[in-house]
Chain A
Amino acid sequence: SSERLLQRGRGGSLVGWDSHLSRIFLLLLFVVSAQGLTPNPEACLVFSSVNGSSISCQPPAQIPHSLPADTIFLAVEFFNLTQLPADFLQGVPNLQELHLSSNRLEDFSPKFLLPVPQLKVLDLTRNSLTGLFPGFFRVSAALCTLVLKGNQLKFLEASWLHGLKALRHLDLSENQLHSLPPGLLENFTDLLTLDLSNNQLQTLPPDLLRGPLNLERLHLEGNRLQVLGEGLLAPQPKLRYLFLNDNRLASVAAGAFRGLQKLDMLDLSNNLLTTVPTGLWTSLGKAARNLKDGFDISNNPWICDQNLADLYRWLVANENKMFFRNHTRCAGPEALKGQTLLAAAESH
């Protein structure tokens, strides 16, 4: 009743109808704007803001035939689509983010991205792409993030990625790449993260990392690399995170880590390393940040002999940063088999 909307607060002052009413209005406004224009669960979610509309579609919603002209965010995910219409993005020139993950997209019209030159994010995770086109990204100078994780790429052409001047994050993980073309990253001066994990890479082009000025994260885990060569990391002295775990590394060149000045984390776990060449570990030890987030050399068949002297010294000084000490053990010589590397280091 209206009397209850007039309450006496402390000190006898009236808490009026006005403040309750304005609270109710605010609540209604929040609910309406939160639910968007279409609270029907079989329709796409639509959110409107001063910047533009955000549209998110998943089954059982129907994919819209037309989109609001001010759409800045569009997600069409978890459908069984093998293709999208060539003019799908025709009416949304301000689009900044396009999320198309978990469909079955096999290919695109070569003109698909031409209507959206302001696109910053393109997520194509978990589709069925076997390739793209030269020039597919020719107007995509604003694209920062490109995710092609979980497709069926068996090879790459560098020309597919021409035009991506502003690219910062490139994710090519979980494909079937067995090799990479030379000059892949040549023009990617702003690239910060390169994810090539979980492919079938056996070797890497020696010039792979030439191009970016400040690469921070390099993911190579889950491939079939056998050797880490001398020059691979040389173009990226400011590299901070290096993931080489779950490969078949048996050999690391003595100068492989030479230039790395800022390495925060190094993961060499689950490889076939038995030893490290003299000098390899001292060059790591000089890194300014000195692997502050940790290192992992577990699950390698270490031969705990004199050749590990450098590594032992460093381990003892940095054991607090060592991941999985109990899984970092000697495979030989016979007398030390099964002992932890740390124990071998401490008794050296």
Chain B
Amino acid sequence: MADAEAGKKIFIQKCAQCHTVEKGGKHKTGPNLWGLFGRKTGQAPGFSYTEANKNKGIIWGEQTLMEYLENPKKYIPGTKMIFAGLKKKSEREDLIEYLKQATSS
């Protein structure tokens, strides 16, 4: 059972250095993630993505995020995101559950 509370902690510890989630949150090294689910890659307004990310062409959702967050550089070769990935399936599930809640109203 995915745990959004655990996911929030994972986000703060491993993602918040580069990303915000709230509506209107600023872009940092990485894009603000508001509106992520159901959106195509590389589409957060105002962020300068790599061509690699823009061209990936998938829609962000639970399954694509599960794959991506295990090994981002394998999923999007050429990405500038520096994140080795979350090996544990449960951690990815928790994080994705948190993101689902935090990036939409």
> Which A positions have Cβ atoms within 8 angstroms of B?
33-36, 45, 47, 49, 54, 56, 58, 73, 75, 77-78, 97, 99, 101-102, 121, 123, 125-126, 145, 147, 149-150, 169, 193, 217, 219, 221, 241, 243, 265, 267, 293-294, 296, 323-324
Beta-carbon nearest neighbor of B50 in chain A: A54
Q: Are B55 and A34 in contact (CB under 8 A)?
A: yes
- B4 CB to nearest A CB, Å: 11
Q: Are B80 and A121 in contact (CB under 8 A)?
A: yes
CA distance A99 to B79 in the complex (A): 10
Q: List 30 A-B contacts (CB under 8 A).
A: A34-B51, A35-B55, A45-B52, A47-B78, A54-B50, A54-B78, A56-B52, A56-B77, A58-B74, A73-B50, A77-B73, A77-B77, A78-B73, A101-B82, A101-B84, A121-B80, A121-B82, A123-B82, A125-B82, A150-B84, A193-B17, A217-B17, A219-B13, A221-B13, A241-B12, A241-B16, A293-B12, A294-B8, A323-B5, A324-B5
Beta-carbon nearest neighbor of A264 in chain B: B12
B9 at the interface (CB under 8 A from A): yes
CA distance A49 to B49 in the complex (A): 12
Task: Scan residues 1-41 of chain B and give those whose CB is less than 8 A from a CB of chain A.
Answer: 5-6, 8-9, 12-13, 16-17
Query: Sorted from nearest, which 7 A-B pairs have the closest CB atoms?
Result: A56-B78, A47-B51, A34-B55, A123-B82, A56-B77, A45-B78, A58-B77
Q: Are A78 and B78 in contact (CB under 8 A)?
A: no
Most buried by A among B5, B12, B52, B78: B78
Most buried by A among B16, B17, B54, B82: B82
CA distance A99 to B74 in the complex (A): 13
Q: Which of B12, B77, B82 contacts A145 (CB 8 A)?
A: B82
- A148 CB to nearest B CB, Å: 12
CA distance A241 to B80 in the complex (A): 24
- With A56-B78, A149-B84, A294-B12 as contacts: A169 and B17 at CB distance below 8 Å: yes
Contact partners of A121 in chain B: CB under 8 A: 80, 82
CA distance A26 to B96 in the complex (A): 36
B70-95: CB near A (< 8 Å → 1, else 0) gives 00011001101010100000000000
Q: Are B51 and A267 in contact (CB under 8 A)?
A: no
Contact partners of B55 in chain A: CB under 8 A: 34-35
Contacts A73-B80, A75-B78, A125-B84 known; 13 new A-B pairs at CB < 8 A = A45-B52, A47-B51, A49-B51, A58-B73, A99-B82, A121-B80, A149-B84, A241-B12, A243-B13, A267-B13, A293-B12, A324-B5, A324-B6
CA distance A324 to B13 in the complex (A): 15
